[in-house]
Structure 1
């Protein structure tokens, strides 16, 4: 858009018999006068080599002299072919952020803010704001600092390894459809116009893929791309004379790095010493593995010991035993080892789906929180919410496998074809969550009820049935519809609930109490509302210590916010502090703001870790609530307890 506008401004001035003011041009092109000034500055820089300039005067505005117009008209195409190439100049704050950092990491001397402003065609004020963001970003890197001199400008100080890490982290932040492409602003770190970085990346990609295949490692697509970029950045810096001199401080198995050494040295005409190979290997070790097919691969003891402690913690707190699930354990270690390497090496990893994971798998996320203090104890760091949510996905898969399937008997009065169609629809919709015992005629109903075909949890029938049995029956259309599947969902949808033969009504009454509901029609702070409920929990005899309970809830909230999508929050203490498991419900008349997010309703958990089965039911109920926008929207409008309970149906 900027390219087309600048071209049109230039042509407009070439064809105008009079000068045009900044305001007039701004009105014509529907932008601000400030943007016009920036565009004119850019255009003058672009056309000065052709002996043309856009002049200005207070009275006449912007104009091109008659003598220069003929030259300008004949050169429009040539000039703007070059301008199109210059559209690589970063325009957005995130692009300028990358550009400035790349320039600083590759610079041997100071760069003034004026120089940056000229390079980027922006004001010094804009550069100053960009630099503020860079200073904040550098806080994460203890070995790097930005030296700022009023006269000399900016200089990035620190060791070579940290400078490469910061480039890697910036490249990782970029969102591109083609992941095997370098940032456009990255090219501005180099002066060689004939440089073809993408060709070099393709060579590295093919080399690395061959080595990964040879040694049986399968990485995610995104991480293969990041590994290629990390190594290319290192090669470019080595070629420019920037080499690693500091010791890594640990013994590394350099198998992968040594396997690509000869190819890289030959193609790029460089020599790689052990410190450089260690950096390559460390970069590989930090990448996420999808699988390892090599039989000689040894899982690291560090990750294995953390996983063992994690599984023991799950068993103690939730009475769920994953210790014999060898696939879960191995996959978790495969995930954990690169994660630990990333953390130790200051590689930052975000999870773009963390909010969805927290919302859709709250029980799995809470189970995964057990690993946070374990890793903190081992490495003296708190892992990010994004990393916890990645672990939660592994836990969610493992949870699906431990709950028994819902056994279903199908009764059909319309023949074999219809029965098979009903079975096919149910199996395709519910997959591994159901076990179809078979399809039967109605005269076999008594045999089914007696358990002659196995234990039955649910009967699905295409015809009306009358029976005194406790086994639930769902009548469906012979051509089973979406509404039918949703009604079946009540009995199949959540294994956390169906593990116990408890009705939804019974589950609700188990946890929600009239005295633990409040509608806040006045303005109140989120944490003050939690403190008020903490006092109510003490008054009602559920907890003993208000201050300890409230402090633990705040600690959990400060670690990672429990505010989910749909303006619902699920605050709770870090540990078991209640005599029985209950939920306090707070509904705000008007949403309140906490941690930059809106909250319309919160469910404050006060749990007793000894009530393992109740906890599973509670998280199952919670998952059922938060995964339905309709339920969340309905219950968040409740003004009293009875209304809340009535709306808590599906």
Structure 2
């Protein structure tokens, strides 16, 4: 059926009331227009059996005819929850998940040649996939990956470990039906029918007993229930040694429902205890309590709050409920890790790109976490980054407005309210004054102002941004005002970026990397040596503690220094793209942030975030020299 990216494309077209342009789809999915066209061709190939299709107009606008929407919606709305964030290299990852899924259901070794034949790819492709599988399995407890040069490939481990791993893969997009067909071509598992029934029963039980969990957690529990049913059908059972664990009222109710509705699919007591544990782990939303928080959780929270305060002069403890919420999250994360149920197979690299300050904090804290004997996967670190980034990096500085008006106080107040309603927190009116006061004290009121908003004809020297509005402005004027202020907001942002470029980069810190350097490590060392930073980097530690993965072709390496210094950003342009960690790279960005520069930290990391936005990263890939680099900020 549809791939994850195809589902996202169809969803945008389906749920948008007007035709949607190809170039907009390409921007939103970070793909080329050619790729989107190919995906639409494949979508229409799948839809051809139903007599429906996605139409593309001469103006490159995509739409679905009214009479065809319901038919497509039935195909699109899949009851199996899939994490929609991992769409990068979807063909490769679909194959990798399929291989891992197949190995979970194979009882003996499978040769690479046999896998290559089944999946219609070369043996060298399978070899590359095996490298990725090794990385993914390395953090999974309860399951191990054996690669034998004579026998082939095999997954071994506990039944619980294999079931959890399969449930995680279903959540990540594993096509279970296709996977099982590769292993058991003669069997029909009726997966969607089974899943739909069990999903319905699980929803009813959770709502009835008010055991509320998040949508993604529900998807994982549902997948776990499905995998349990399939494994039981195939004769893979738990050792029934958990009979002493009591079932909750909810699980007893679910058990009765399963027996009455799905008599042919048997669930043992051990299965139900396993599903009960599964649900308990996902219970994000039960009332907060600190009875399970231990010293290790508190120590980790203290580490992050200390680093944020030390480097950025921000006291997170003063944020309402921060400590309680963060402790709760860290406790759950650690409990899952102890059970071998951490966030493996999770590649949301865009989080690091969206929150570079928080990603740098997390990277800086990694050695301390290791000293505490706490090791987190990239996925867990990304979630911590998101937690911190939501507090530290979500707000841009507002556009500061000076309102000059001779109107009645009530009308002036109305204008202020309307501007705030239109623009929200993106603007701040620093003063509202009459014309005579401005004419007498203009220098006083123009201090630290971005735009003058006026209902009067005023005399102001050149160089100031001025917006004239009528006193009682209607809808047309509102749209015009909003458009102008958004334009000034963008100009203000670009001005800050230009200022930061001159402070942190400049011509001296924009370098062309010699063509003779082919390896990523060598390129990084070359850039560091040019400025005497090479001693800061221990090669054995660098990749784990300084390299921060993201979803663009711009590599990001972060250093945070406690000693005084001047924060700098090195831009290293590669003459030809290189590959590192299965990512194609055209540029290397190295950040050296010193804690005494906390006053400019927000603008500093906004600059890095701007460079790593997909559009800017693509422009950066085409840049040949420093002058072209500066044009990105125009």
**1-side partners of 2:585 and 2:419: how far apart?**
38
**1:164 shift after superposition:** 1.4
**2-side partners of 1:490 and 1:585: how far apart?**
24
| 1:617–1:337 distance in 2 versus 1, CA, 3 Å | same
**1-side partners of 2:570 and 2:147: how far apart?**
52
**1:644 shift after superposition:** 6.9
Q: Tell me the secondary structure at the aligned position of residue 283 of structure 1.
A: helix
CA contact (8 A) 2:620 2:629 kept: no
**1:616 shift after superposition:** 3.4
| 1:616–1:547 distance in 2 versus 1, CA, 3 Å | same
Q: Tell me the secondary structure at the aligned position of residue 323 of structure 1.
A: helix
What aligned pairs does 1:82-121 form with structure 2 within 5 A after superposition?
105-106=104-105, 110=108
| 1:465–1:505 distance in 2 versus 1, CA, 3 Å | farther
Counterpart of 2:590? 604
| 1:592–1:201 distance in 2 versus 1, CA, 3 Å | closer
Counterpart of 1:485? 486
**1-side partners of 2:125 and 2:555: how far apart?**
39
Counterpart of 1:616? 602
**2-side partners of 1:112 and 1:505: how far apart?**
57
Q: Does 1:397 align with 2:383?
A: no
Q: Tell me the secondary structure at the aligned position of residue 243 of structure 1.
A: coil
CA contact (8 A) 2:211 2:283 kept: no
Q: Does 1:170 align with 2:165?
A: no
Select which of 547, 559, 564 maps to 1:573. Answer: 559
Residues 335-386 of structure 1: CA deviation (Å, up to 9, x unaligned): 444443443424544556423x3333222322333554455445542321x3
Q: Does 1:549 align with 2:533?
A: no
For structure 1, the 5+ residue unaligned runs are 2-91, 177-181, 498-502, 539-545
Counterpart of 1:314? 308
**1-side partners of 2:102 and 2:582: how far apart?**
33
Q: Tell me the secondary structure at the aligned position of residue 219 of structure 1.
A: coil
**1-side partners of 2:578 and 2:102: how far apart?**
43
**2-side partners of 1:329 and 1:428: how far apart?**
34
Counterpart of 2:275? 280
**2-side partners of 1:620 and 1:114: how far apart?**
46
For structure 2, the 5+ residue unaligned runs are 2-90, 470-476
**1:209 shift after superposition:** 2.8
Select which of 430, 434, 451 maps to 2:427. Answer: 434
**1:277 shift after superposition:** 4.7
| 1:480–1:184 distance in 2 versus 1, CA, 3 Å | same
Counterpart of 1:64? none
**2-side partners of 1:627 and 1:135: how far apart?**
29
Q: Does 1:244 align with 2:238?
A: yes
**1:160 shift after superposition:** 1.5
**2-side partners of 1:567 and 1:155: how far apart?**
34
CA contact (8 A) 1:533 1:584 kept: yes
What aligned pairs does 1:54-203 form with structure 2 within 5 A after superposition?
105-106=104-105, 110=108, 136=134, 138-141=137-140, 143-145=142-144, 156-174=155-173, 183-186=177-180, 196-203=190-197
**1:220 shift after superposition:** 3.6
**2-side partners of 1:149 and 1:644: how far apart?**
51
The normalised TM-score by structure 1 is: 0.63
**1:563 shift after superposition:** 6.5
What aligned pairs does 1:213-224 form with structure 2 within 5 A after superposition?
213=207, 216-224=210-218
CA contact (8 A) 1:299 1:334 kept: no
CA contact (8 A) 2:164 2:341 kept: yes
**2-side partners of 1:321 and 1:147: how far apart?**
48
CA contact (8 A) 1:161 1:244 kept: yes
CA contact (8 A) 2:497 2:603 kept: no
| 1:94–1:490 distance in 2 versus 1, CA, 3 Å | closer
**1:227 shift after superposition:** 0.8
Residues 505-541 of structure 1: CA deviation (Å, up to 9, x unaligned): 6544433355444344654345444334433433xxx
**2-side partners of 1:466 and 1:593: how far apart?**
58
**1-side partners of 2:538 and 2:118: how far apart?**
49
**1:398 shift after superposition:** 0.9
Residues 603-635 of structure 1: CA deviation (Å, up to 9, x unaligned): 432332233224334213333444484597379
**2-side partners of 1:536 and 1:124: how far apart?**
43
| 1:283–1:439 distance in 2 versus 1, CA, 3 Å | same
CA contact (8 A) 2:363 2:546 kept: no
CA contact (8 A) 2:587 2:620 kept: no
Q: How many corresponding residue pairs? A: 526
**1:230 shift after superposition:** 0.4
CA contact (8 A) 2:358 2:385 kept: yes
CA contact (8 A) 2:169 2:345 kept: no
**2-side partners of 1:469 and 1:298: how far apart?**
64
What aligned pairs does 1:461-500 form with structure 2 within 5 A after superposition?
461=453, 466-467=459-460, 473-475=465-467, 479-480=480-481, 482=483, 484-491=485-492, 493=493
* RMSD (Å), alpha carbons: 5.3
Counterpart of 1:81? none
CA contact (8 A) 1:113 1:127 kept: no
CA contact (8 A) 1:567 1:599 kept: yes
Select which of 452, 457, 470 maps to 1:460. Answer: 452
The normalised TM-score by structure 2 is: 0.64
**2-side partners of 1:99 and 1:134: how far apart?**
13
| 1:512–1:298 distance in 2 versus 1, CA, 3 Å | same
What aligned pairs does 1:260-299 form with structure 2 within 5 A after superposition?
260-264=254-258, 267-268=261-262, 270=266, 272-273=268-269, 276-287=271-282, 289=284, 292=285, 294=287
